Amino acid sequence: MAARVSRPARLLEGRPRVLHAVAVVVVASFVAFVLPAASQARRYTIAFANLTEEPGLPVEGTGFTGADVRQSFVLAARGQPIDLVLYDNQKDPAKALANAADAIQKKVDLYIQYFPDTAVNKDVSEMLRRAGIPAMAVNYPMPGSPLYGVNNGAAGRIAGEALAQFATQRWAGQPMVAIVLGNLTDQANGLPERSQGVRESLTHLLPAVRIVALDTRGNPAQISPLLGRAAASSPNTRLLIAALDDTTALAAKATLDAVSRTADGVIVGLGCDRSVHGGASEKKEIDPNNRGSILIGSVAFYLDRYGYEVLPLALRMLHGESIPPRTPTRHTLITMTNVWREYPPYDMQ
């Protein structure tokens, strides 16, 4: 005869199953509520006040423009928890102050200032400090703010080293003269420091080589006559040319072609803008398929990558991390061997 189970016992027997089902429902509800919130990282409003966005106007003594810098921030912000507010300082002090005031009114989380005027940057810094908004500076210091920017001296030294290495490997024991060519007195864009960096490397690595300075004073039309005369005064001599920007480098190559001294010359530029490199079909001077070019490289300034360097630093600040007071650009010599690694051709179309 089967034993009878009382009604209370039957209820207790089913209780574990009921409790398990309830627990599953509770956990599922918790996961559904918590995970979306956890997966949605806090978004930050970051303002970037660009130096200028005037079409075709080069910045920092290179062939890059403010539009290149702006676009780098737009692209770098994609996929990041960043809402970008963009300003154009227009190289104008009043506009720079007005942009900072507008950003304060918008209650941005962080402000990035790109402006060369020391007094204006001091005023902007004070405005942001009073509003409790942290800031970063690009290329020109702002009191109390971490700085990201070019290192003209280091870039010049890289160019000088490249010329010296080429000369040592290819022209050892032959007569040579080194030429520093460009707007040598352009203080605003740091070209004297760039020129000095070239000289330091050449003096250290090729102490016997004479160095000639050719100052175009910002006039590209002077490149050909200056270099042409220098080449004529140094017959049967190898010419090591450091061009302080890529436009000058290309003009120097054209000049050596015109005076039939291509076989005697080698050129390194500074900047590495799109005039010297590009896509696979553009046939620029710095190209894996152009092994015979006397423009053997250009030192990258990466103004078209600024956003990718600056915005991660800004996010670190907003997350409470400390960052260095100054982060210099990672200047690199771009040659035919590494150009498509640094600038993949599919990005250049």
| β 332-334/295-300 pair status | antiparallel
Task: Indicate whether 25 pLDDT > 50.
Answer: no
Q: How confident is the model at residue 310 (pLDDT cuts 50, 70, 90)?
A: very high
Above 60 in pLDDT, residue 179? yes
The torsion angles phi and psi of 337, rounded to 5 degrees, stand at -80, -25
- 251-265 per-position pLDDT tens digit: 999 999 999 999 999
What is the pLDDT confidence band of residue 4, given thresholds at 50, 70 and 90?
A: very low
Where are the chain's structural domains? 44-150+305-318, 152-300+336-347
Helix (H) or strand (E) holding 239: strand 238-243
How many CB atoms are closer than 10 A to CB 300? 26
Render pLDDT for 107-117 as a digit per residue (tens, 0 to 9): 999 999 999 99
CATH number of the domain located at residue range(s) 152-300+336-347 in this protein? 3.40.50.2300
> What does the pLDDT look like over 126-170, one tens digit per residue?
999 999 999 999 999 999 999 999 999 999 999 999 999 999 999
- Residue 28: pLDDT above 80? no
Residue 53 has pLDDT above 60, yes or no: yes
pLDDT at 192: 99
Q: Do residues 14 and 39 touch, judged by C-beta distance below 8 A?
A: no
Percentage of the chain lying above the pLDDT 90 cut: 85
At 281, is the pLDDT very low, low, confident or very high (cuts 50, 70, 90)? confident
pLDDT of 5: 44
Average pLDDT over residues 232-245: 98
For residues 96-107, give the mean pLDDT.
99
Do 44-150+305-318 and 152-300+336-347 come out as alike in CATH topology? Answer: yes
* The domain defined by 44-150+305-318 carries CATH number 3.40.50.2300: yes
Write 66-75 long-range contacts (CB < 8 A, 24+).
Answer: 68/273, 68/303, 68/304, 69/114, 69/303, 69/304, 69/306, 69/307, 71/304, 71/307, 72/303, 72/304, 72/305, 72/306, 72/307, 72/308, 73/48, 73/306, 73/307, 73/310, 73/311, 74/307, 75/307, 75/308
pTM of the model: 0.87
